[in-house]
Amino acid sequence: MTIFEKIIAKEIPAKLAYEDDEVIAIHDINPQAPVHVLVIPKRVIPRIGQAQATDAPLLGRLLLTASKIAADLGLADSGYRVVINHGRNGGETVPHLHVHVLGGRRMSWPPG
């Protein structure tokens, strides 16, 4: 079980930003910006590269939830970044697809 599965099962506490039947959103414990929220599907998809066409509705739900959370946290006007990491070189640390919502400061390009 990944740490995200344990959080979804309420075995590990987390600071919730949002939750519904399909996704949970938590504040990152190691934030890389003043606002750093992870949007996690409750159904495990190990990584974006393993998503299937049948996962399209859930993938869309993740992005729409990221947008809602950004608006709820006051980032819509100033801007924010949405990131999905894939694999070790992509920065993936937990093999459970999730979307990072980062904001509250100016983002640089290219990223790290």
What is the longest distance spanned by two Cα atoms in the chain?
38
Alpha carbon distance 95, 88 (integer Å): 10
Name the active-site residue from 36, 96, 98, 100: 98
By the 8 A CB rule, do 68 and 23 touch?
A: no
* Known active-site residue 98: yes
Return the active site residues: 98
